[in-house]
A and B are shown apart, each in its own frame.
Chain A
Amino acid sequence: MLRATLRSFFAHKGRLLLSAMAIILSVAFVAGSLIFSDTVGRTFDRLFASTSADVQVQPKKDVDEQIPSGITRTVPASLAGRIGKVDGVSKAWVDASVENITIVDSHNKNVGPTSGAPTIATNWYLTDRSPVKLTSGHEPHGAGEALLDKDTADKKKVRIGDSLTVLARPGSFTVRVVGIATFTTTNPGAALVFLDTPTAQTKLLGRADEATAISVEAAKGVDDKVLKQRIATEIGGGYELKTAAEQAKDSAASLGGFLDVIKYVMLGFAGIAVLVGIFLIVNTFSMLIAQRTRELGLLRALGADRRQVQRSVRIEALLLGAIGSTLGLAAGIGLAYGLIALMGTFGMNLSAAEIVIGWGTPVASYLVGVGVTFVAAYLPARRAAQVSPMAALSDAEVAGVGRPLRVRAVVGSVLAAAGAAALAGCAASTKTATSSSLLGLGVVLTLIATVVAGPLLVRPVIRVLGGAFPRVFGSVGRMSQRNALRNPRRTGATASALMVGLALVVGMSVASASMTKSFDQQIDRVLGADYIVQNSNFTPFPEEITGKIRGVEGVGTVVRQRFVPLQLRLPDGRRTDTTAAGYDPQLDDVAHLSYSDGSTAEALASGHVAMDRDYAHDHGLKLGSTVRVAFPGGATAVLTLSALTDMDSSGGPGAEAGMFMGLATAEKYLPDGQDAVVYVNAASGVDQQTLRTALEKALASYPQVKVNNQADYKKIVSDQIAVLLYLVYALLGLAIVIAVLGVVNTLALSVVERTREIGLLRAIGLSRVQLRRMIRLESVVIAVFGALLGLALGMVWGVAMQQVLALQGLKAFAVPWSTVVAVVVGSVVVGLAAAVLPALRASRMNVLTAIAHE
């Protein structure tokens, strides 16, 4: 029996090829993401472990800055002296390092990385743990000298002797590059500038007696933990003390977020590949078994029992899964190399890293590959076992065609009803959490319902879709339409593969179009400023820039906005880290806020604060309530709630409660913050375009900020939403590739099944061109059917998602018609592309052998 199974497997290897492709793709993404994150994780673990000081004294962690305020927390530099005297300390030194700066060259070009990695300015203090060493020039001495890291110098063509301007919070200053420092370890992609310690303290922190941390080297034989304890005793509380291991863990955690994103994206790809691949595998095995009905019947007639037949099909599936997984694992290693190379283009130089393949990688790969294949082949295997020995003798029509779809109808309807109920519940719900979990449930249920009921929809939908075929394409059109209708299960499953991806993308497109429209409407409604000056990723910038803006001729009202991270201490005892905004008093000139109680003037008055009405109501706060807050650095305040806003969206991620206050109030408790946004109105009688030109000229040496009008601002917002969409499009691309493989697979097997029919058609005069057209049309009708199912499902999902967004204040609804049209047109192209090879194969068939084909 095993021999028969193996023979059959190798006899059908060509037909299993496309299924194997789907397995390879899914496994490659699983393996690739695991290998990549293991490799990068290990590389950075090593880097952090080897470069961390034995003990580091950091500012106390209190309020989590979800949106950066631009302040730099410090500790007194004098601590270094005290710590140096602690028993077991070999030496203690001052760290003065900031990340929220910009460095420009003499042409006002940003020298820092554009990938989002930080630009770091720090004091030059070389130890044996430093990740860099001086490779040319000399160490920086005095206010005017600096080192630059080699990678950045090479990339931005900076040489020793060139001038750089450092735009730091206390003010910008110019330095001359006197040396180049080269990474001795992996470069995580940052740009580094080194200054001597006093310069770093005065120019970066603004205070000669402060430090961002004190690093400590332990004497030989002194344990980090013991030393940490001793230092804590010496300096008392109010500081955060970390051993080398703890620092490495912190660093890994902060990098982990970024790596996790990549990991989840990759696993998303793997998931899509698995989901779509299952359809392909189910279909392949169903078709192979249908074709082998007589062969299986013969086996049964010769005495093989049901279990043996079933087992033989399962062994075939296991073999396919094992081979696919092995190849997928290999492809995954390649993918990981590719990703690492890609990281290189973002400045993260991992070329020296060794590929790490943890034991989990092969386990996960084979689990996914073999598991998916086995599960997908489960039903076809059962069906194979049900082939009766009589099948060997009869001239039976291919099995599975005529079986009633009643069970599918019942299961599909029940699931669809449940899914619809969940989505309706999602739309009706007023709580975001309930609504989104109902959305998830509804999406899953309706997806399964559509897959189950797909074959039932084949007849009515394709009748209509292909209804014009006979008239337009004559008998070729009629035959292609009927062929697509011939086996609704097969057509349904093939189309489902396409449907999944399209439903996803349509749903996401509807949601993102609605988001974009909502934001546009909000911007139109709320924003009143002529120009908005800000950093493209909303990070704060030095006050020097605001000063420049004020000095521009023709500038009227200028309103600054700062972010104020704070901890809200609610009356019910809960504490929430959130972010408030601080504004200048003329806020009404640049924004149209709507209040249910109070006014801008009251909100911005000293010691007062405004809050979103609903949030206040939900947390037991009323107009006039006292609001207790704590700020980073330990300051606390009792503010008076003097205005309640009534806007669709106040707050958002990281800024729950939608609080804002006067900038003066904010500065009182959180000094040294930086401006995040500056709203500018033209003075009366000043032409807007003239003002823009003047502003841009004045800000030319500050490349980190841009002057935006309302249209620019809308574009920035929609571009940020679009990033998400691009990811969805990439996922869709993969889903389509696999779905196309599915259509190719179905068509190719159908062509083989219909060999005699094709022979007959050719004998009675169907030309090759017509034959190819027939197969193309069938392919197109299947693809368009899948696209329509996907569109319908995606629209339903999109409407439901929009309802969830509406709870966040994003109330507008928009249908991205261009995407809808593109999906339909695209599906026709997909159909045509998928038909190329099967059609070629059919038209190359020898007429005589086709007629004689058994």
Chain B
Amino acid sequence: MAARARGLTKAYGSGETTVLALDSVDVDIARGRFTAVMGPSGSGKSTLMHCLAGLDTVSAGQVWLDETEITGMRDRELTRLRRDRIGFMFQAFNLLPTLTAAENITLPMDIAGRKPDQKWLDQVIDTLGLRDRLKHRPAQLSGGQQQRVACARALASRPELIFADEPTGNLDSRAGAEVLSFLRDAVDQLDQTVVMVTHDPGAAGHSDLVLFLADGRIVDEMAEPTADLVLERMKRFDPAHKS
């Protein structure tokens, strides 16, 4: 397993007004797979990702990255963990506007003071088709190109796990499809592990396994998903959600 959580609980507020964002979730993220986390808004899917990635603290339960327990780690250790062992892609504002594409890609390693593996870096850059964009600043790149740079950054340090939070949320469908196929390639060809949070059934259709979240619990999962199957499954949430 690349990551797992047991009894993962995240509560906001206290007493009467307590809201459970995650309610004793058990989850396993398999290595070398592309896992999608789906659910209606407010289902806790982003919170789950934040807790798995060491961005957020948990109220109860345990989280492991590989065999390392990350719950209870101090800020310094978590920072190092995120830097060295995890890759991130966010919905928007992924890149530092002052740095070039190339500098953005190697930023986590630069921060760590490590030399990037040049062969791997070249492979990532070529796979993502960014070779002729390396000297550009983010402002000079399209939204899709920016997300590809973010993807390259997430891959560059060859992390154990890549978290992508709505990576296609701000893109048109063509650019979105492109980014998704790169994530797919990263898993298939570069042997990476990706966890993607999304509410787009089309995006989830690119994954190997979809976890469905509702009201802070994992309510279902679907292997070998397609966009249509996921959409079907999601429709079943609606009445419950409306009530």
A221 in contact (CB, < 8 A): no
Residues of B within 8 A of A482 (CB): 98-99
Query: In the complex, how many residue pairs between chain A and chain B have their CB atoms under 8 Å apart?
Result: 73
Residues of B within 8 A of A483 (CB): 98
Q: Contact mask A817-843 → B, CB, 8 Å, 1/0? A: 000000000000000000000000000
Q: Which of A486, A756, A770, A851 contacts B111 (CB 8 A)?
A: A770
A757 in contact (CB, < 8 A): yes
Q: Contact mask A410-442 → B, CB, 8 Å, 1/0? A: 000000000000000000000000000000000
Tell me if A764 and B107 are in contact (CB < 8 A): yes
B93 in contact (CB, < 8 A): yes
Report Cα–Cα, A713/B136, bound state, in Å: 67
B90 in contact (CB, < 8 A): yes
Pick from B55, B56, B80, B113 the residue with the most CB of A within 10 Å.
Answer: B55
Tell me if A475 and B103 are in contact (CB < 8 A): yes
Report Cα–Cα, A765/B80, bound state, in Å: 6
Report Cα–Cα, A851/B163, bound state, in Å: 14
A763 in contact (CB, < 8 A): yes
Tell me if A474 and B83 are in contact (CB < 8 A): no
Q: Which of B76, B93, B99, B110 contacts A767 (CB 8 A)?
A: B76
Q: Which of A474, A479, A485, A764 contacts B88 (CB 8 A)?
A: A764
Report Cα–Cα, A478/B108, bound state, in Å: 13
B 81-109 contacts with A by CB, 8 A? 82-84, 88, 90, 93-94, 96-99, 103, 106-108
Q: Which of A478, A485, A486, A763 contacts B82 (CB 8 A)?
A: A763
Residues of A within 8 A of B80 (CB): 765, 767
Tell me if A847 and B110 are in contact (CB < 8 A): no
Q: A483-B98, A757-B96 are in contact. Are A765 and B56 (CB under 8 A)?
A: no
A: interface residue count bin: 20 to 34
B: interface residue count bin: 20 to 34
Q: Which of A397, A476, A764, A767 contacts B153 (CB 8 A)?
A: A764
Q: A764-B83, A765-B79, A767-B80 are in contact. Are A486 and B98 (CB under 8 A)?
A: yes
Report Cα–Cα, A760/B107, bound state, in Å: 11
Tell me if B111 and A766 are in contact (CB < 8 A): yes
Report Cα–Cα, A761/B104, bound state, in Å: 10
A158 to chain B, nearest CB (A): 69
Q: A764-B83, A765-B83, A767-B80 are in contact. Are A756 and B93 (CB under 8 A)?
A: yes
Q: Which of B75, B82, B103, B113 contacts A764 (CB 8 A)?
A: B82
Report Cα–Cα, A415/B219, bound state, in Å: 72
Tell me if B50 and A848 are in contact (CB < 8 A): yes
A164 to chain B, nearest CB (A): 73
Tell me if B56 and A478 are in contact (CB < 8 A): no
Tell me if B103 and A851 are in contact (CB < 8 A): no
Report Cα–Cα, A768/B83, bound state, in Å: 13
B86 to chain A, nearest CB (A): 8
Tell me if A762 and B98 are in contact (CB < 8 A): no
Q: A757-B93, A763-B88, A764-B107 are in contact. Are A847 and B55 (CB under 8 A)?
A: yes
B 131-147 contacts with A by CB, 8 A? 139
Q: A483-B98, A486-B98, A767-B80 are in contact. Are A760 and B103 (CB under 8 A)?
A: no
User: Which B residue's beta carbon lies closest to that of A769?
Assistant: B76
Pick from A761, A764, A847 the residue with the most CB of B within 10 Å.
Answer: A764
Q: Which of B56, B88, B111, B113 contacts A848 (CB 8 A)?
A: B56
Q: Which of A474, A479, A765, A848 contacts B96 (CB 8 A)?
A: A479
Q: Which of B88, B94, B99 contacts A478 (CB 8 A)?
A: B99
B112 in contact (CB, < 8 A): yes
Tell me if A851 and B90 are in contact (CB < 8 A): yes
Residues of B within 8 A of A476 (CB): 111
Residues of A within 8 A of B88 (CB): 763-764
Report Cα–Cα, A486/B50, bound state, in Å: 31
Residues of B within 8 A of A756 (CB): 93
A 761-789 contacts with B by CB, 8 A? 761-768, 770
Report Cα–Cα, A813/B83, bound state, in Å: 57
B175 to chain A, nearest CB (A): 16
Tell me if B98 and A479 are in contact (CB < 8 A): yes
Tell me if A760 and B98 are in contact (CB < 8 A): no
Residues of A within 8 A of B110 (CB): 474-475, 478
User: Which A residue's beta carbon lies closest to that of B75?
Assistant: A768
User: Which A residue's beta carbon lies closest to that of B137?
Assistant: A482
Report Cα–Cα, A474/B83, bound state, in Å: 15
Residues of A within 8 A of B112 (CB): 765
User: Which B residue's beta carbon lies closest to that of A853?
Assistant: B93
User: Which B residue's beta carbon lies closest to that of A766?
Assistant: B111
Tell me if B96 and A760 are in contact (CB < 8 A): yes
Tell me if B99 and A479 are in contact (CB < 8 A): yes
Report Cα–Cα, A546/B111, bound state, in Å: 77
Residues of A within 8 A of B90 (CB): 760, 763, 851
User: Which A residue's beta carbon lies closest to that of B93?
Assistant: A756
Residues of B within 8 A of A479 (CB): 96, 98-99
Report Cα–Cα, A765/B87, bound state, in Å: 10
Residues of A within 8 A of B55 (CB): 763, 847-848, 851
Residues of A within 8 A of B83 (CB): 764-767
B 38-65 contacts with A by CB, 8 A? 50, 55-56
A642 to chain B, nearest CB (A): 77
Pick from A479, A485, A756, A761 the residue with the most CB of B within 10 Å.
Answer: A479
Report Cα–Cα, A486/B138, bound state, in Å: 14
Tell me if A478 and B103 are in contact (CB < 8 A): yes
B203 to chain A, nearest CB (A): 20
Residues of B within 8 A of A767 (CB): 76, 79-80, 83, 111
Report Cα–Cα, A116/B93, bound state, in Å: 67
Residues of B within 8 A of A760 (CB): 90, 93-94, 96
Tell me if B139 and A397 are in contact (CB < 8 A): yes
B103 to chain A, nearest CB (A): 7
Report Cα–Cα, A231/B139, bound state, in Å: 92
B139 to chain A, nearest CB (A): 7
B197 to chain A, nearest CB (A): 13
Q: Which of B50, B94, B99, B108 contacts A765 (CB 8 A)?
A: B108
User: Which A residue's beta carbon lies closest to that of B153?
Assistant: A764
Residues of B within 8 A of A848 (CB): 50, 55-56
B28 to chain A, nearest CB (A): 23
Q: Contact mask A478-505 → B, CB, 8 Å, 1/0? A: 1100110110000000000000000000
Residues of A within 8 A of B98 (CB): 479, 482-483, 485-486
Q: Which of A475, A766, A851 contacts B79 (CB 8 A)?
A: A766
Pick from A478, A479, A756, A765 the residue with the most CB of B within 10 Å.
Answer: A765
Residues of B within 8 A of A761 (CB): 96, 107, 111
User: Which A residue's beta carbon lies closest to that of B139?
Assistant: A397
Report Cα–Cα, A602/B214, bound state, in Å: 113
A 718-764 contacts with B by CB, 8 A? 756-757, 760-764
Report Cα–Cα, A486/B137, bound state, in Å: 13
Report Cα–Cα, A760/B89, bound state, in Å: 10
B52 to chain A, nearest CB (A): 13
Residues of B within 8 A of A478 (CB): 99, 103, 110
Residues of A within 8 A of B108 (CB): 764-765
User: Which B residue's beta carbon lies closest to that of A476?
Assistant: B111
Report Cα–Cα, A23/B181, bound state, in Å: 58
Tell me if A474 and B113 are in contact (CB < 8 A): yes
Q: A479-B99, A482-B99 are in contact. Are A762 and B107 (CB under 8 A)?
A: no
A-B contact pairs, 27 of them (CB 8 A): A397-B139, A474-B110, A474-B113, A475-B106, A475-B111, A478-B103, A482-B99, A485-B98, A756-B93, A757-B93, A757-B96, A760-B94, A764-B108, A764-B111, A764-B153, A765-B79, A765-B80, A765-B83, A765-B108, A765-B111, A765-B112, A766-B83, A766-B111, A770-B111, A847-B55, A848-B56, A851-B90
| Chain A residues within CB distance 8 Å of chain B | 397, 474-476, 478-479, 482-483, 485-486, 756-757, 760-768, 770, 847-848, 851
For the complex with contacts A763-B82, A848-B50, 5 further pairs of A-B residues with Cβ separation under 8 Å are: A475-B110, A486-B98, A760-B93, A765-B111, A768-B75
| Top-9 shortest CB links A-B | A765-B83, A475-B110, A482-B98, A765-B82, A767-B79, A756-B93, A764-B108, A765-B108, A766-B111
